[in-house]
């Protein structure tokens, strides 16, 4: 093949369209291969990413996207483009590629939600400091045992910070749930006490009403008793003295 043919031109100076197009496609393939190699360098193989994304339940969208919790919107979008392209079912032939793609898309949508960032905002500095100090304290012992020291920055460190954030959020949620249970228990106890007091008041009012409703009967009974006493039909007793029927002064023996 002549140099002219290799350059996409015929011997008479005319351009070979097919050859030029073939050269263009080769360049495109080279560019795509280079970009894929870059992605594989960041994420590993497409199949390994699919397995990572579908083999467990993630607690953080940052963990899914392999980002630190302080990643900005531009970084999140760039990471999403790379990761979604890698596991997209049109390009990845893994049987779980579609599932992995949906996991990545959900993580991207979560990270685009300002409320998602807000829940990390206050605890992130504390979590980062906690992980840093814990790892810094562990590293001397690890080195004595011949183990590699834990990273104090980078992707592994960021993943540990996210885990610490999630642990702090779970602890806060548990404390909030406990406080809510205590609040409900106190409310129930107060409500029961209130109902008991109402029942006691109602019972006292009912008894008082019954007492008032029978007052005339009691008064009438007392008056009848007094009349019987005065008429001598009823014996009454006092200390040291017993009163019977009235004696007839003219006939004491009838007493």
Q: What is the pLDDT of residues 183-215, one digit of tens each?
A: 888 888 888 888 888 988 888 888 888 888 887
Are 108 and 76 in contact by the 8 Å Cβ rule? The answer is yes
Domain boundaries, the chain: 15-121, 122-221
Backbone Cα Rg of the chain: 47
DSSP state of 98: H
What are the residue ranges of helices labelled H in 214-252?
215-230
Are 67 and 161 in contact by the 8 Å Cβ rule? The answer is no
Neighbour tally for 117: CB within 10 Å: 18
Are 130 and 166 in contact by the 8 Å Cβ rule? The answer is no
The DSSP H or E segment spanning 241 is strand 241-243
Q: For residue range 81-130, list pLDDT tens digits in order.
A: 999 999 999 989 999 999 999 999 999 999 999 888 788 878 888 988 99
Q: Which residue has the higher pLDDT, 41 or 153?
A: 153
In this structure, is the dihedral angle defined by the CA atoms of residues 29, 35, 36 and 37, taken in order, positive or negative?
Answer: positive
- Helix H, strand E, coil C: the string for 1-35 is CCHHHHCCECCCCCECHHHHHHHHHHHHHHHHHHH
Sorting pLDDT into bands at 50, 70 and 90, what band is 49?
A: very high
Q: Specify the CATH number for 15-121; select among 1.10.10.60, 1.10.287.110, 3.40.50.300, 1.10.630.10.
A: 1.10.287.110
What are the residue ranges of helices labelled H in the chain?
3-6, 17-43, 46-54, 61-65, 73-87, 97-111, 114-121, 124-144, 155-213, 215-230
Distance, in Å, from the CA atom of 24 to the CA atom of 26, rounded to the nearest integer, reads 5
pTM of the entire predicted model: 0.49
pLDDT value at residue 50? 94
Percent of the chain, pLDDT > 90?
A: 25
Mean pLDDT in residue range 142-160? 87
Q: For residue range 2-28, list pLDDT tens digits in order.
A: 444 444 445 555 556 666 555 655 554
Distance, in Å, from the CA atom of 195 to the CA atom of 180, rounded to the nearest integer, reads 22
């Amino acid at each position: 093949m002549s140099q002219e043919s290799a350059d996409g031109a015929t011997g008479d100076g005319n351009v070979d369209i097919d050859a030029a197009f073939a050269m263009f496609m080769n360049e495109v393939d080279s560019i795509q291969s280079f970009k894929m190699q870059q992605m594989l360098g960041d994420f590993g193989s497409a199949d390994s990413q699919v397995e990572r994304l579908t083999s467990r339940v993630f607690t953080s969208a940052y963990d899914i996207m392999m980002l630190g919790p302080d990643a900005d919107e531009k970084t999140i979008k760039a990471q999403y483009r790379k990761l979604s392209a890698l596991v997209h079912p049109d390009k990845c032939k893994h049987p779980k590629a579609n599932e992995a793609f949906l996991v990545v898309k959900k993580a991207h949508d979560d990270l685009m939600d300002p409320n998602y960032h807000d829940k990390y905002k206050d605890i992130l500095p504390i979590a980062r400091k906690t992980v840093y100090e814990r790892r810094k304290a562990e590293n001397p012992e690890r080195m004595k045992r011949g183990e590699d020291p834990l990273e104090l920055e980078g992707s592994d460190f960021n993943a540990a910070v996210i885990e610490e954030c999630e642990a702090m959020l779970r602890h806060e949620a548990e404390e909030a749930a406990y406080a809510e249970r205590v609040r409900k228990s106190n409310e129930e106890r107060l409500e029961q006490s209130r109902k008991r007091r109402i029942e006691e008041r109602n019972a006292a009012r009912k008894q008082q009403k019954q007492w008032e409703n029978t007052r005339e009967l009691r008064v009438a009974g007392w008056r009848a008793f007094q009349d019987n006493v005065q008429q001598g039909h009823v014996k009454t007793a006092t200390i040291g003295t017993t009163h019977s029927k009235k004696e007839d002064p003219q006939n004491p023996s009838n007493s």
